[in-house]
């Protein structure tokens, strides 16, 4: 072995023959490389301290080593990860110029792609959806990180940037050109992938590490052929012609119940399934007493066994085979189960249960879906398999695991694990579907009353079908989308990544969102086969059974984002895909990102009808979002390191933020104002930036507004850096339409934004505005005190009462919309008459005066809330609480913030990121962050 100075060759045709370089070392061949790192990992696993690393899975050293292929994949925290980044990454250079605008991702792209479908996971973002984003933010050789990698699509996307076929490149380039983007720099990026679940990281390893497809395909077929020789008899059936022997595709099993009237047996499939319509009847007669029954009335019947693996007494719901679907040659038949079939089943029952079958006990009391399993008698993993399926699956797994070549073995196990759910009792018979492959209910452990027990060949390799799992897999990986040394994967907690600070170029991530999916629980079954299980304590989810509420979720997410912030280079970007419609979870994510040090620059949602992105302007989320945020540059961070604020620092922040947010949003002919550039949004961001760093806000709202106008040119209600404004003006003149932002009016804050938008374009009277305003009010939040339109107008806008010259805002509207009012003097009586009684948006200087008056009124209301002796205040004016909290923050009166918060409804606070930001930080200041 000799050391090697150069970085690794990442060309896709690195065929693993001859000397290989890895982490700065050169080895004779892959085998030598593996032996070297395997020995290091084995030694490391002996160290008890190593096992204390957060997120370390539960499993023996042997099981962890069997799954791993170090240094590129370890089924535990990866001791080589830091070396990988140091060896192949580009060190951070402050002087390097890096400028990018936020980039939106269309997560719906690529869902039909073969590679995407080659291995399922509970939720997936297709690699083809991620590729454009990686191309936009990085250059070849850069390091991309995904700490919640799941099936590892980010790694595949990073590699695809180098291996994408010509047609793909041409299409992307022409789309980008049409949208006004420069063409990307093609070439492989390196990826660092992490997931808490060994099942997930193992899928990621299969997707991202190279293997020889022909060797894999030959071996997979050989295994299934051997299986045929060894266990084929279990799936043989006598055809109805009395002569031919058929091969079972699947057997449909029925749950057996008893009748509540006569206690007679009810075979659910026989009685409830309508063979003609293939639908389950909502009611059916009892075959014994004729009573009309439905599923809810049936009583569960149990059968007692001796558990073949534990030798303990075991009671499970009664199941009976109903009919079989089989093939004779290429013809498919279906018939009820007969004596000859029962004989085969009895013969299988006589065999001893496969001794290597996983028997792990489900952590029922800590599982969200535990109550679906245990009452039916499924408390251990092997309980979910009928004996025949258990023999077949164990044999496949054994044969796959016995393969000596590591890469081939990995893929064979990868292939075999896709049959685990589908061959278990979780697979429901789906009579209206053509295929019975993998018909289990996604995201839940549910054993139905109509079960399909598929044969291994039916699920994995149907030689007659090119659509079989194996053919698809071979198709998907030809040509190989991966090459050596581009991706490193570990199993661990995203909150503790063994990567040097400031070393990652870009993060793409799709974290768990609240309580949608219980990954650790769901991975338990597959992980029991590997013998390595998720350390679920660190799992960032909301799960009442694991005692994790919204607060715990937020803390876990904050820890993960803090780690993301630490490892990312300053000035670089993170893209977060958000797919949950809970406002509370959305708020928790924003809070976690801000507290971690990120600044959100853009939030968009895909407008499915238009096929384009729209900015998200309210805190109510209904659809999938894409959040783009950046880590502030080193020079900006330095200004805040001493823990004190200054107006210079605040303006430096605004400048950096304006530098990073999009100049315009939308396509070249239809643009939308960039929300992030509006005064209100900039003010909110500036305040949050300070509060999240635990320092006072150096500018009042009025000072901010005045300063903004003095420092930055304004267009269409948005502020720009001087060098951006010419670019905006140019694009604005070529765009045919300036689209309005859509506001969802549910509180005073959004009402003000909505009115501003109406009056900006068209100053109007109270009478004109009111009916439109009433229409918008349909979704007013319950806890939000009603604020009259009149009050909102008086506190935020100006009224022209006909005295003095017509204000320029009204003048320009009237003269450009009414021919006869054109070119009139501002004091012309005709113009005054038409302008009288209209409300309009003040210019920024007047706005500052108004804000001052409004703030005084709001603080007065806050005082009332503060003094209120009510223990719980159900309805209040959120704007008053915001203004009050801000004032308290400035005066370091953290106690009042916490005290007032205690009177407000928890559910409301959970959804209001502005209020929670103050409360969280005030609690931290008071040393009460429990």
Contact residues: ligand SAM, CB under 6 A: 121, 123-125, 147-148, 150-151, 153, 194-197, 200, 493-495, 510-512, 519, 538-540, 560
For residue 303, count other CB atoms closer than 10 A to its CB: 13
> How near is the Cβ of 494 to ligand SAM at its closest, in Å?
3
C-beta of 150 vs 246, nearer to ligand SAM: 150
CA 376/CA 372 separation, integer angstroms: 7
C-beta of 560 vs 883, nearer to ligand SAM: 560
> How near is the Cβ of 442 to ligand SAM at its closest, in Å?
13
> How near is the Cβ of 522 to ligand SAM at its closest, in Å?
9
Long-range contacts at 214-223 (CB < 8 A, ≥ 24 apart): 215/405, 215/408, 216/408, 216/411, 216/412, 216/415, 216/474, 217/470, 217/474, 219/403, 219/408, 219/412, 220/412, 220/415, 220/460, 220/461, 220/470, 221/461, 221/470, 223/396, 223/399, 223/400, 223/412
Under 8 Å between Cβ of 449 and 317: no
> How near is the Cβ of 536 to ligand SAM at its closest, in Å?
9
CA 594/CA 693 separation, integer angstroms: 9
C-beta of 128 vs 196, nearer to ligand SAM: 196
> How near is the Cβ of 647 to ligand SAM at its closest, in Å?
39
- Kindly report whether the peptide bond that precedes residue 71 is cis, defined as omega within 30 degrees of 0: yes
> How near is the Cβ of 203 to ligand SAM at its closest, in Å?
7
C-beta of 147 vs 701, nearer to ligand SAM: 147
Smallest Cα–Cα separation from 86: which of 469, 678, 498, 530? 498
CA 785/CA 787 separation, integer angstroms: 6
Under 8 Å between Cβ of 885 and 877: no
> How near is the Cβ of 144 to ligand SAM at its closest, in Å?
13
For residue 660, count other CB atoms closer than 10 A to its CB: 22
CA 542/CA 531 separation, integer angstroms: 26
C-beta of 126 vs 210, nearer to ligand SAM: 126
C-beta of 147 vs 597, nearer to ligand SAM: 147
DSSP letters spanning 832-846: HHHHTTEEEPPPHHH
> How near is the Cβ of 266 to ligand SAM at its closest, in Å?
40
> How near is the Cβ of 111 to ligand SAM at its closest, in Å?
11
- Whether the CA torsion 425, 431, 436, 439 is positive or negative: it is negative
DSSP letters spanning 613-646: EEE--SS---S-EEEEEEPPPHHHHHHHHTS---
CA 102/CA 506 separation, integer angstroms: 12
Query: How is residue 800 written in tokens?
Result: 């022209």
> How near is the Cβ of 589 to ligand SAM at its closest, in Å?
12
> How near is the Cβ of 122 to ligand SAM at its closest, in Å?
7
Determine the residue with CB nearest ligand SAM: 150
CA 80/CA 70 separation, integer angstroms: 8
DSSP category for residue 13: T
Question: Which residues, in sequence order, are bridge partners of residue 440?
Answer: 427
Smallest Cα–Cα separation from 324: which of 247, 432, 424, 422? 247
C-beta of 588 vs 650, nearer to ligand SAM: 588
DSSP category for residue 366: G
**What backbone phi and psi angles, to 5 degrees, belong to 887?**
-65, -45
DSSP category for residue 442: T
C-beta of 481 vs 538, nearer to ligand SAM: 538
CA 695/CA 682 separation, integer angstroms: 18
C-beta of 510 vs 747, nearer to ligand SAM: 510
> How near is the Cβ of 507 to ligand SAM at its closest, in Å?
12
C-beta of 200 vs 636, nearer to ligand SAM: 200
C-beta of 195 vs 591, nearer to ligand SAM: 195
C-beta of 482 vs 660, nearer to ligand SAM: 482
């Amino acid at each position: 072995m000799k050391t090697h100075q150069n970085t690794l060759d990442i060309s896709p045709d690195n065929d693993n023959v001859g000397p290989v370089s890895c982490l700065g070392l050169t080895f004779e061949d892959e085998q030598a490389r593996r032996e070297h790192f395997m020995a290091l990992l084995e030694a490391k696993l002996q160290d008890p301290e190593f096992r204390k690393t957060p997120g370390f899975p539960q499993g023996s050293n042997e099981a962890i080593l069997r799954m791993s292929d170090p240094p590129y994949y370890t089924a535990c925290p990866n001791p080589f990860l830091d070396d990988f980044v140091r060896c192949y990454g580009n060190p951070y250079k402050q002087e390097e110029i890096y400028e990018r605008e936020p980039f939106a991702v269309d997560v719906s792209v690529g869902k039909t792609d073969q590679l995407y479908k080659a291995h399922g996971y509970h939720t997936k973002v297709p690699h083809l959806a991620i590729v454009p984003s990686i191309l936009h933010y990085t250059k070849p050789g850069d390091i991309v990180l995904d700490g919640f990698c799941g099936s590892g699509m980010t790694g595949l996307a990073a590699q695809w940037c180098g291996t994408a076929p010509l047609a793909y490149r041409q299409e992307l380039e022409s789309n980008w050109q049409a949208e006004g983007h420069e063409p990307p720099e093609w070439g492989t990026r390196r990826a660092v992938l992490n997931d808490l679940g060994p099942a997930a990281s193992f899928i990621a390893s299969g997707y991202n590490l190279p293997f020889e497809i022909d060797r894999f395909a030959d071996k997979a077929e050989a295994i299934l052929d051997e299986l045929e020789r060894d266990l084929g008899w279990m799936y043989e059936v006598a055809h109805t012609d009395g002569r031919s022997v058929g091969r079972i595709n699947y057997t449909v099993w029925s749950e057996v119940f008893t009748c509540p009237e006569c206690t007679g047996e009810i075979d659910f499939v026989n009685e409830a399934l309508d063979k003609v319509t293939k639908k389950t009847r909502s009611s059916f007669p009892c075959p014994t007493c004729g009573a009309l029954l439905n599923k809810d009335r049936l009583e569960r019947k149990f059968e007692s066994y001796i558990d073949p693996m534990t030798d303990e007494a075991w009671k499970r719901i009664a199941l009976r085979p109903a009919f079989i679907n089989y093939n004779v040659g290429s013809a498919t038949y279906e018939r009820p189960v007969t004596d000859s079939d029962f004989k085969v089943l009895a013969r299988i029952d006589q065999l001893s249960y496969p001794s290597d079958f996983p028997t792990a006990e489900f952590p029922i009391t800590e599982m969200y879906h535990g109550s679906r399993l245990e009452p039916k008698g499924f408390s251990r993993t092997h309980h979910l398999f009928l004996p025949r399926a258990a023999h077949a699956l164990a044999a496949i797994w054994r044969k796959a695991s016995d393969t000596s070549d590591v890469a081939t073995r990995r893929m064979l196990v990868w292939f075999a694990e896709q049959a685990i759910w589908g061959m278990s009792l979780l697979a429901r018979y789906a009579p209206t579907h053509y295929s019975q492959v993998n018909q289990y209910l996604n995201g839940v452990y549910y054993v139905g009353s109509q079960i399909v027990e598929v044969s291994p060949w039916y699920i994995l390799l149907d030689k007659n079908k090119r659509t079989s799992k194996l053919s698809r897999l071979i198709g998907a990986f030809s040509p190989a989308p991966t090459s050596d040394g581009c991706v490193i994967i570990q199993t661990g907690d995203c909150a503790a990544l063994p990567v040097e600070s400031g070393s990652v170029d870009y993060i793409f991530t799709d974290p768990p969102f609240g309580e949608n999916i219980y990954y650790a629980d769901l991975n338990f079954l597959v992980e029991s086969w590997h013998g390595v299980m998720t350390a679920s304590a660190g799992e960032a989810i909301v799960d009442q059974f694991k005692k994790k509420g919204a607060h715990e979720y937020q803390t876990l997410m904050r820890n993960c984002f803090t780690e993301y912030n630490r490892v990312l280079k300053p000035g670089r970007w993170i893209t977060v895909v958000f797919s949950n419609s809970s406002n509370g979870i959305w708020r928790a994510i924003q809070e976690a990102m801000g507290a971690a040090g990120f600044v959100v620059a853009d939030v968009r949602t895909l407008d499915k009808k238009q096929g384009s992105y729209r900015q998200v302007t309210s805190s109510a989320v209904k659809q999938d979002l894409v959040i783009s945020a950046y880590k502030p540059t080193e020079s900006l961070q330095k200004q805040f390191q001493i823990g004190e604020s200054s107006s210079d620092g605040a303006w430096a922040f605004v400048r950096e933020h304006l530098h990073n947010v999009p100049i315009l949003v939308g396509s070249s002919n239809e643009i939308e104002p960039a929300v992030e550039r509006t005064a209100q949004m900039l003010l909110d961001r500036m305040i949050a930036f300070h509060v999240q760093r635990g320092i006072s806000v150096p500018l009042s709202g009025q000072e901010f507004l005045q300063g903004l106008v003095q420092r930055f040119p304004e267009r269409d209600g948005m502020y720009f850096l001087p060098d951006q404004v010419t670019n905006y003006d140019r694009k604005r003149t070529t765009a045919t339409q300036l689209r309005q932002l859509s506001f969802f009016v549910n509180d005073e804050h959004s009402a003000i934004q909505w009115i501003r938008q109406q009056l900006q374009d068209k100053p109007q009277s109270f009478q004109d505005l009111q009916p439109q305003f009433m229409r918008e009010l349909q979704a007013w939040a319950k806890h939000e005190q009603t604020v009259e339109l009149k009050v909102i107008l008086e506190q935020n806008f100006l009224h022209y009462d006909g005295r003095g010259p017509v204000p320029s805002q009204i003048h320009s509207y009237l003269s450009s919309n009414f021919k006869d009012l054109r070119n009139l003097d501002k004091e012309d009586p005709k113009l005054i008459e038409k302008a009288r009684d209209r409300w309009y948006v003040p210019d920024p200087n007047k706005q500052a005066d108004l804000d001052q008056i409004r703030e005084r009124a709001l603080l007065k209301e806050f005082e009332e809330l503060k003094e209120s002796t009510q223990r719980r205040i159900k309805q209040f004016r959120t704007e008053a609480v915001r203004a009050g909290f801000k004032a308290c923050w400035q005066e370091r009166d953290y106690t009042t913030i916490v005290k007032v918060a205690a009177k407000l409804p928890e559910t409301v606070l959970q959804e209001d990121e502005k209020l929670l930001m103050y409360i969280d930080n005030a609690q931290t200041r008071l040393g009460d962050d429990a």
